[in-house]
Amino acid sequence: MKVYFHKDFYEVYTSDPAAASGRMEAIVRAIESHVTFSTFSPATDDDLLRVHPRSHIDAIRREGVYEIAALAAGGAIAAAETSLNEPSFALIRPPGHHASVDSCWGFCFFNNMAVSLHRLKSSGRIKTAFILDFDLHFGDGNVNILGSEPWVEILNPEASHRSTYLNQVQRALEATTADVIAVSAGFDNHLEDWGGLLTTEDYRTMGAWVREAAHRNGGGCYGILEGGYNHAVLGENVMAFIEGLGEPEATAG
Ligand SMILES: [Zn+2]
């Protein structure tokens, strides 16, 4: 599978856990022999302005994180564009699902998901989209920006029991007819991460359900990294999801 990654994501750009030293390295170590890393360009201001006003972009610039945040959004765009031909994943940071139109929190600056979906929508390549956000935390930014758009469905599964959680995901994916299925893939709800709910195999299972739904709909699917903070298990969790999302017969180049 094509994984969009840039060496600048190794940079520790803030003191928050998403920017922690060693986090990207842990993921790269786990997946590098199984995937193809691909390059991409940062999101342009035109891309960002489809979602955020100039005032928000300027505020992020003043915080000194514009370059890395625009690069992350560019990775999401690249994964989105590839997704219409083959499943793909954006291994990016900072994350984005807590970024709203003109505010942000929770280690996020630009809404990578919204920027990527608006790029597909504005170029006429999709009519509808489904977002699965399996991060531990409710993706308020995704919902604030896209939740009232008639062309977008969003699922933030929420259950204290693992089987109930997985049932919600499975049922929603069985029902969607969207042209693209995009995953806000945060791994902080793993048994050994902050949320303590999901197994590594569950990420593989959800990835496979996403792939099957996209295939049934004749559409695309991609994931973009959100949270996930236990470096000891993060890499294998990302790998499991990628393996589920990829075509079963595909061999990595
Ligand atoms: Zn989270």
Q: How far is the CA of 249 from the centre of ligand 1 (A)?
A: 31
pLDDT tens-place string over residues 230-243: 999 999 999 999 99
Rounded to the nearest angstrom, the distance between the alpha carbon of 42 and the centre of ligand 1 is 23
Q: What is the pLDDT of residue 250?
A: 47
218 alpha carbon – ligand 1 mean position (Å): 30
Sequence-separated contacts (24+) of 165-168 with Cβ below 8 Å? 165/197, 165/198, 166/202, 166/205, 166/206
57 — pLDDT class (breaks 50, 70, 90): very high
Look at residue 222 in the predicted model and tell me its pLDDT: 98
Mean confidence (pLDDT) of the chain: 97
- Mean pLDDT calculated for residue range 96-111: 98
Q: How far does the centroid of ligand 1 lie from the alpha carbon of residue 139, in Å? A: 8
Residues 173, 209 contacting (CB under 8 angstroms) = yes
CA pair distance 214, 88, nearest whole angstrom: 12
Q: How far is the CA of 107 from the centre of ligand 1 (A)?
A: 9
**pLDDT tens digits, 220-232:** 999 999 999 999 9
Around Cβ 171, how many Cβ atoms within 10 Å?
Answer: 12
Share of the chain above pLDDT 90, in %: 97
**Alpha carbon of 96 to ligand 1 centroid (Å):** 10
One DSSP character per residue, 204-217 reads: HHHHHHHHHHHHHH
Q: How far is CA 183 from CA 13, 114, 242, in A?
A: 24, 11, 11
Q: State yes or no: pLDDT of 53 exceeds 50.
A: yes
Mean pLDDT calculated for residue range 83-94 = 98
Q: How far is the CA of 136 from the centre of ligand 1 (A)?
A: 5
Give the tens place of pLDDT for each residue, 124-160: 999 999 999 999 999 999 999 999 999 999 999 999 9
CATH architecture of 2-245: 3-Layer(aba) Sandwich (3.40)
Confidence band for 253, pLDDT divided at 50, 70 and 90: very low
Check residue 43 and report its DSSP letter. Answer: P
Strands 152-155 and 129-133: parallel
Expressed in angstroms, the distance from the first to the final Cα of the chain is 8
Q: How far apart are CA 208 and CA 183, in angstroms?
A: 12
The string of pLDDT tens digits covering residues 161-206 is 999 999 999 999 999 999 999 999 999 999 999 999 999 999 999 9
CA of 113 to the centre of ligand 1 (A): 14
Total-model pTM: 0.97
- Model pLDDT, residue 75: 98
Q: What is the whole-number distance in angstroms between the Cα of residue 221 and the centre of ligand 1?
A: 21
Q: Is the pLDDT of residue 251 over 90?
A: no
- Measured in Å, residue 126 CA sits from the centre of ligand 1 at 27
Residue 11 Cα to ligand 1 middle (Å): 20
Query: Edge to edge, what strands does the sheet with 36-38 contain?
Result: 36-38, 2-4, 88-90, 220-225, 180-185, 129-133, 152-155
Cis peptide before 94 (omega within 30 of 0): yes
